[in-house]
Amino acid sequence: MTLAEEKQITAPTPRVITTKPRTSDKIFRAVIFTGALSSLVILAAIAIFLGLRGFEILAREGLSFITGYEWYSSINSDGTAGEDPSVYGIGAMLIGTIITALIAVAIGVPISIAAALYLNFYAPNAIRGFLVGVIDLMAAFPSILFGLWGFNVLMPSGEYWAKLLHKYLGWIPLFDVSTPFFSRSPFIAGLVLAIMIIPIVTSIAREVFSQTPLDRIQAAYALGATKWTMIRAVVLPFGYSGVVGGAMLGLGRAMGETVAVFTVLNIIFQANFQILLGAGGNVASLIILKFGEASAEEIKALMAAGLMLFLLTLVVNMLADLLVSRTVKQGR
Amino acid sequence: MSTATLSYPKPQKPWRPKQRDLIPTYLGILVVFLGTWALVEFTGFAGKLGAFASAVICTTLVSTFLAGRSRGKQAAKNAAVASIITSLALLAMFPVISILGTVLVRGTKGLYVGFFTTDMGLASVNDPLNVGGILHAIIGTFIMIIIATLISVPLGISTAIYLTEIRGPGSRLIRFLVQAMSGVPSIVAGLFIYSAIISGSGRGFNGLWGALALAILMLPTVARTAEEVLLLIAEDLREAGLALGATQWRTVAMVVVPAAKSGLITAMILGIARIAGETAPLLFTTGGGDETNLNPVDGVMGSIPFAIWKALISGSAESNARAWASILVLLALVMILFFSARRLGKARR
């Protein structure tokens, strides 16, 4: 029986089959998981450090940090405390941030929706790619470019339009001004922000609209719909919550924008609801404005203001993300 | 066999409009021109935007009227909406044209050869335009971009690999957090680095802190783009790797990542384009020096956005010209990055 003998000699021991990951895989997964946790760690660290540094001011001012309109640091130039107590309140700045961001959304979102509809349903194929490229390029423009351009180019013509609005629509309280000073107003800051959020809102609206089920579009046409009735009956209802999410994402961007707003906004520490008047507020601009010559205590107040801005934009962004992802998933 | 001459009927194209039918269209165009001129001349709609607005109003009215006259109410509505949507889409393109034009026209005035070879160490922003340059800023920007890339690309790609390859616990949460992180205002990133590292510690401003702040802003862009790219890799490739007995680590490192290489480079470039022009975080972290500084861990470091910022707030005519020249350089950098990312993206598909 030579065959059996041979087999006994050469048969290899079978590999142990297991579902357990190898050591190399364990290391790989651990390393990748650590890397993936970075976003969680960074977000938590931002909240913790800003909260830690700003805690003293937040605890002292309490709720009036958010509702108060006064920002007064009573530290003298030689570092000693002044006679009046320091007061830190970002109420006016918060209101200003929300007003400018809302103006930006009110102007930018309709334009973005129209642009997205045009790119998806109206644009000739030959120029569609080019136009999408132009919008994407605009998203890559640095914010200081918008600041410089907004200050030098947009502000003069923005002032002209503000005067026109005031002249013909001044009877609406929103467009009224108490003194005829139209330069560096929330309206102009809102215009700059509107231009800055157009690319992101357009690209989200475009993505949401392109998820519209084709059979529904064709069904609408088959029933004799014109292009517009098709859009109104199929595309807009389908994309509604996604577009709202995109608008909120734009709102978040507009709230956190710093440099571009700083160059075109006159910062005044009072609540101003006359959007054409050259007096406004913005939390991010406040931080830039005060940071240069701030005392140690005022820096802490600025950190607290930064924390408020962070939390505000985080909440807006998370809501926006939920709305967008819901629509996009629904289409697939 | 006789040769039959075949006569083809001449194509009639009955759908093609006759000259007579086009008369209303020609008249309509004429009315649009006249109406636009009248609005600009006699109302407050002055300037380029005013002319555009008047043209939009006239075009909308005329096309609505024409469509309504020949095809009824629904067609009129359709035509009105089409012309409004088209003009709003055009309006969205206006700023790009204006920005590019202004930067080109004003930026070239401040440029001279020395602009790229000298720094502002011995010059002030208000000096004449043939003194000083932004060499320090260009070097600083590049150093900070390199450091930020070295930090955020490995982290961003690990995040993407975790989300697409490992698909472990918490994937949804991490995807959500990355999305939320992409909305963090740039000023907050700067303030965070300031509060965590610089404030109260006695450490000074330097380029490394600036790069850390930029890395925070770059991370979500890289992670999201890389995730999209990895999702495009066919599942067959992964299964083939595993079927050959490779461990997951070998499959990812030798099959998936090489297959997605150009896409991952695109992700990196888009991340760099995102941070190249960031100003706010650098204001809190780098100190914005005027002299060329090659050492990121010692002393203040300039950067192009910071140089623009300094020139902008100084406010004289020379500094304004300098700001425009610097922004021309910055814009050129961003556009090179943008177009190379697009080229790579096109080559992939």
Q: How far is A273 from chain B (nearest CA, A)?
A: 24
CB contact under 8 A, A198 and B103: no
> Could you tell me if residue A121 is inside a domain?
yes
Q: Which of B74, B219, B273 sits opposite A38 (nearest CB)?
A: B219
A88 forms bridges with which residues in the sheet?
Answer: A71
Q: How far is A1 from chain B (nearest CA, A)?
A: 36
CB contact under 8 A, A249 and B183: yes
- Picking from A22, A38, A165, A221 by the largest number of B CB atoms within 10 A of its own CB, the best residue to mutate is A38
| 3 state DSSP class of A136 | helix
Q: Which of B95, B249, B334 sits opposite A195 (nearest CB)?
A: B95
How much is the pLDDT for A9?
65
List pLDDT tens digits, range A159-181: 888 888 888 888 888 888 877 78
Please state the domain count of chain A: 1
The whole-model pTM stands at 0.88
Band of pLDDT at residue A18, cut at 50, 70 and 90:
confident
List pLDDT tens digits, range B105-121: 998 888 888 888 888 87
CB contact under 8 A, A142 and B179: no
How many interchain CB pairs under 8 A, A with B? 267
CB B45 within 8 Å of CB B53 = yes
CATH number of domain containing A304:
1.10.3720.10
Say whether pLDDT at A106 is over 90. Answer: yes
- Picking from B279, B285, B306, B331 by the largest number of A CB atoms within 10 A of its own CB, the best residue to mutate is B279
In the block, tokens 């925070």 appear at B216
> Could you tell me if residue A40 is inside a domain?
no
List pLDDT tens digits, range B222-251: 999 999 999 989 999 999 998 998 889 999
Q: Report the C-alpha gap between B238 and B250 in whole angstroms.
A: 10
> Could you tell me if residue A227 is inside a domain?
yes
Question: Considering only CB atoms, which chain A residues are within 8 Å of B177?
Answer: 39-40, 43
Range of the domain at A176: 92-331
Question: Considering only CB atoms, which chain B residues are within 8 Å of A119?
Answer: 89
CB contact under 8 A, A33 and B199: no
Q: What is the mean pLDDT of residues B298-316?
A: 88
How much is the pLDDT for A82?
64
Q: How far is B242 from chain A (nearest CA, A)?
A: 12
Q: Which of A32, A45, A291 sits opposite B196 (nearest CB)?
A: A45
Band of pLDDT at residue A7, cut at 50, 70 and 90:
low
| 3 state DSSP class of B39 | helix
Say whether pLDDT at A80 is over 70. Answer: no
CB B183 within 8 Å of CB B217 = no
Specify the DSSP element, H or E, that contains B109. Answer: helix B73-109
Nearest residue to A203 via CA among A124, A120, A318, A141: A120
Instruction: Identify the closest residue of chain B to A312 by CA–CA distance.
Output: B184
Instruction: Using only the alpha carbons of chain B, give its radius of gyration.
Output: 29
